[in-house]
Chains A and B, each alone.
Chain A
Amino acid sequence: MNIVACVKQTPDSAAKLQVENNHVSWGDSPLIVNPWDEYAVEESLLLREKFGGKSVAISMGPESAMEALKTCLAVGCDETYLISDPVLKGSDVSSTAYTLAKAIGKIGDVDLALFGRQAIDGDTGLTSSQVARYLGWTLLTYVIKIVEIDPVAKTIKVERMMEEGRQVCTAKLPAVVSVVKGINEPRYPSFMGIRKAAKATIPVWKAADLGLEPSKVGAAGAAVTWMDIYPLPVKETKVEIIQGSSPEEIAAKLADKIMAEKVI
């Protein structure tokens, strides 16, 4: 059973962001594998360990995203591919999904494409569902548990996290699955893994390698464009510390304040 984990390289979640002329930078903060995608990578490794086949990590991005794929190799992925081409610059969700669907098609014989629920930069959480649509595969989002897979009958049973609770469902493979925290505990890279990854050459796929139509990729293929990006306006809040001689007195004063806000 072949499993693809789609990963994005993002700035660290604790990075101090700067914006200048609609360009976001993060100083010397490290770039990391999108934290949600770590769960997708780990799940691909667990499934490969259980069912055999290979775990393949792919990423679309600039040359620097090679580092994210090296992390995937270091934790144990069998193969990685970087999809990188200047014409892909300016992609939105739909042109990214189109590109990733083509890449998954090129890998071939894939039963499962795993995604983290969203990337911590764009925060859309829409890409996986569009990839499923372009591939014509089953879509299962917000999966917190893969209960079972039958690689022969090509079926999968999962638990999905909805607002109201978990939905347990069965479906057919091949499937695109987006995963949430709680599905597993991502492993750390081993020393041997890091050495192997350092020496590895990661193949780069260009738009032409995937047979992408120029009108559907990058800025040309984007339906949604970013007009402006700017820091969150700083809310001037000065905290009012509630004091008193006893917990009861503090509670009474705090309750006064909360009631006066008319939020209850």
Chain B
Amino acid sequence: MSDLEQFRQETRTWLGDNCPESMRVPSRGFDDLYNGGRKPEMDHPDQKVWCDRMAARGWTVPHWPVEYGGGGLDKDELKILREEMARISARRPLDSFGISMLGPALLHFGTEEQKLEHLPKIVRGEIRWCQGYSEPNAGSDLASLATKAEDKGDHYLINGQKIWTSYADKADWIFCLVRTDNSGSKHEGISFVLFDMEDPGVTVRPIKLISGNSPFCETFFDNVKAYKRNLIGEEGKGWAIAKYLLTHEREMISGFGAAPKKSVGQMAVETMGADATGRLANSMLRQNIAQYQLDTVAFAATMARVGDEAKSGQGLGAASSIFKYYGTELNKRRNELNMAALGESALGWEGEAYHDGVASRDWLRSKGNSIEGGTSEVQLNIIAKRVLGLPDE
């Protein structure tokens, strides 16, 4: 038996013995995934059991190095683990910004001490992180941020306000962009610091969205302490880290463009019926859905192509610049078509009959996809200038 075959057998056995039955059900979306933290929210107590068991092997973040608590798996082993989890419909044990965003930045820019301090806690789901980027006057123009960090020897004193801080009300720590210097251009003088949200100077107010949910917050800092040992990279050089992290965020958001298991077209046939030739009964809706599905096929091929190009050493091509823009626009189109295909049953807001309004709430939530993490318009500016080389006004 090859090593990989043996790994597969052992993984299958271990998952069979350790994944609770209740965790072998696909999650409904982001909201019922386990995020860990000091005050974890759980739909089911098995969520923590499952997370702890996986974390003990480093499999909550299987591709991170073992010395930082990860699983140390190579890409073949990682693929096997994912396949074996999918085989029994096992949920991801832990989902967090620590894994998807801060972790990659720390691995790239952090000191050895910082990595050893923060990464294992992310793997174990002990600390839940949030991201302090946008401010009321620094949205698309993020580099205009003004939250002030004053040098006090071994720490900075932070004063200012962040907005659109995802899950700040549930987070334990924040990775935050602050201004340590005002004298140069706006991209200079930005620093990337980590601090504890338990500081009495932190105030968090959730923002209720049109979807009825409150995934974002306003976050206020009044003389909050951030220790210098938690400054990532050099003081004043935080913009490079911010950009690096934004590409991770954009990749994550563009993943929303992936086609769901049951296509919108097939769902529409279930709700509206088809004619004798198998064509959806409403020819206008059919055309709109076909255009959307055609683009999802071509978008999936593009994600695959860019991945293959990167693997073959051709680097991340210009095509990757379109992911955030195209993926989020596709997701908005899918939600609009979903509403049309479902008809009245998509209009519900609460109650069993409407699955608690999942269709309408997802539809409304999707409108933010092309705003958060860089608007579609900012993405088009980036393509026009950096890829096509068109000049500034």
Q: Are A and B associated in one complex? A: no
Which residues does B use to contact A, with CB under 8 Å?
none
